[in-house]
């Protein structure tokens, strides 16, 4: 029997816990604040930002969305980040990725105060993650959400072989660090891998984040493996599909995430969780 990892249900459970934490903060007169910066009108990014804003509102988090035209200058963007860095009502700041060409995304991420870096993209936070330093600090929401999904399976993971396909800063690299910190034996594969399929076939935990529709087929997966599909691709008919051929792979896998309804909802639930984390950590530090 293959377990279908239900990201929507796990997100509901996580959001319920976050909502309770928000209610506890409210009793002390504290409202967590999230600032979301989006540049341009990319339809997918606009939907993700709208969903973040909506979910925040449902949980009692105050969210502000600032939308810039694609012609915004780097200086204006950095000024908006600086404004939120200095705003005591804002606990978490995120800049929706990708930024339009011509803007230096890395410089904008680096300008976010590390203690408000709700996406965990600041080098201080990624450095802590890669050094396996003691927390707390925020971690990129998609891989952090995947760790929550893996924990929901209640399977021992230490010593298992993990293969992460894709090495992006948002998913592949922090995913590898989280799995390594959880004592898995981790391989990161990418476009230069000489025999990708020989690698994926060794994985007890396979995480695929490439943006290549149905890259992973049944023959590429070890029987019983946990398969996590981060892909959000469109097939020839425009239908949302993953990097894993779900219909072919699910009979082979021990557990598998669907697309949609897998990793995506957990990304947003983790963002909400981390906004409240940042708010609580700030309180614990004494509002600094």
Ligand X SMILES: Nc1nc2c(c(=O)[nH]1)N[C@@H](CN(C=O)c1ccc(C(=O)N[C@@H](CCC(=O)O)C(=O)O)cc1)CN2
User: How far is it, in rounded angstroms, from Cα 227 to Cα 183?
Assistant: 18
* 152 labelled ligand-binding: no
**Helix 263-285 to helix 7-27 angle, to the nearest 10 degrees?**
20
Q: Which two tokens mark 29?
A: 């007169």
Comparison of 168 and 187: residue with beta carbon closer to ligand X: 168
Task: Indicate the residue among 143 and 254 with the shorter CB distance to Mg ion.
Answer: 143
Select the residue interacting with ligand X from 34, 56, 170, 256 (CB under 6 A). Answer: 170
Cα–Cα distance, 272 to 46 (Å, whole number): 18
Identify the DSSP state of 244.
B
The reply on whether position 168 binds ligand X by CB under 6 A is no
> 140: left (phi > 0), else alpha (psi -120 to 50), else beta?
beta
15 near ligand X, rule: CB under 6 A:
no
Q: Measuring CA to CA, which residue among 8, 14, 55, 49 is closest to residue 264?
A: 8
Does position 230 bind ligand X by CB under 6 A?
A: no
Residue 122 tokens, joined:
């600041």
Among all residues, which ones are annotated catalytic? 52, 96, 119
Q: Which does 166 bind (CB under 5 to 8 A by kind): Mg ion, ligand X, none?
A: Mg ion
- Residue 225 binding target from Mg ion, ligand X, none, CB below 5 to 8 Å by type: none
172/262 with CB nearer ligand X? 262
Q: Do 26 and 280 touch, CB atoms closer than 8 A?
A: no
Q: How far is the CB of 138 from ligand X (least distance, A)?
A: 11
Quick one: what does residue 141 bind among Mg ion, ligand X, none, with the CB cut-off 5 to 8 Å set by partner type? Answer: ligand X
CA 151 to each of CA 66, 140, 147: distance values in angstroms, whole numbers, following the listed order = 35, 17, 6
Tell me whether residue 168 or residue 181 sits nearer to Mg ion (CB atom). Answer: 168
Position with the least CB separation from ligand X: 264
Q: Is 257 in the site for ligand X (CB under 6 A)?
A: no
Q: Which 92-131 residues touch ligand X, going by CB under 6 A?
A: 94-97, 119
- Angle, alpha carbons 257-216-149 (nearest 5°): 20
Pairing of strands 226-229, 255-256: parallel
46 annotated to a ligand binding site: no
- CB-wise, 61 or 196, nearer to Mg ion? 196
Q: Out of 261, 280, 281, 283, point to the residue binding ligand X (CB under 6 A).
A: 261
Q: How far is CA 218 from its chain centroid?
A: 26
Three-state SS for 91?
coil
Q: Is 142 in the site for ligand X (CB under 6 A)?
A: yes
Residue 63 annotated as binding site: no
3-state DSSP assignment of residue 34: strand
Residues at the site binding Mg ion, with contacts judged by CB under 5 A = 166, 168
206 binding ligand X? (CB under 6 A)? no
Binding-site residues from annotation: 166-168
Binding-site residues from annotation for NADP(+): 166-168
Which spans of this chain sit near ligand X (rule: CB under 6 A)?
Answer: 48, 94-97, 119, 141-142, 170, 232, 240, 259-262, 264-265, 267-268
């Amino acid at each position: 029997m293959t377990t279908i990892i239900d990201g929507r249900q796990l997100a509901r459970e996580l959001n319920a816990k976050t909502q309770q934490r928000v209610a506890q903060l409210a009793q002390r007169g504290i409202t967590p604040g999230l600032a979301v910066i989006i540049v341009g009108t990319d339809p997918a990014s606009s939907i993700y930002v709208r969903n973040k804003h909506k979910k925040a509102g449902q949980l009692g988090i105050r969210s502000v969305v600032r939308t810039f035209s694609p012609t915004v200058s780097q200086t204006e963007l950095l000024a908006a980040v600086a404004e939120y860095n200095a705003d005591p009502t804002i606990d978490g700041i995120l800049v929706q990725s990708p930024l339009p060409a011509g803007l230096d995304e890395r410089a904008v991420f680096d300008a976010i105060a590390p203690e408000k870096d709700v996406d965990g993209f600041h080098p201080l936070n990624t450095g802590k993650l890669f050094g396996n330093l003691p927390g707390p600090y925020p971690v990129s929401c998609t891989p952090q959400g995947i760790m929550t999904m893996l924990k929901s399976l209640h399977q021992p993971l230490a010593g298992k072989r993990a293969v992460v396909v894709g090495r992006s800063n948002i998913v592949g690299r922090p995913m590898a660090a989280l799995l390594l910190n959880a004592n898995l034996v981790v391989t990161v594969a990418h476009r230069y891998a000489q025999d990708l399929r020989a690698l994926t076939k060794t994985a007890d935990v396979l995480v695929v984040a490439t943006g290549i529709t149905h890259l992973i087929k049944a023959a590429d997966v070890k029987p019983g493996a946990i398969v996590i599909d981060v892909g959000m691709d469109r097939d020839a008919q425009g239908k949302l599909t993953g990097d894993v051929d779900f219909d072919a792979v699910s009979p082979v896998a021990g557990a598998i995430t669907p697309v949609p309804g897998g990793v995506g909802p957990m990304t947003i639930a983790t963002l909400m969780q981390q906004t409240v984390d940042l708010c609580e950590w700030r309180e614990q530090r004494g509002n600094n």
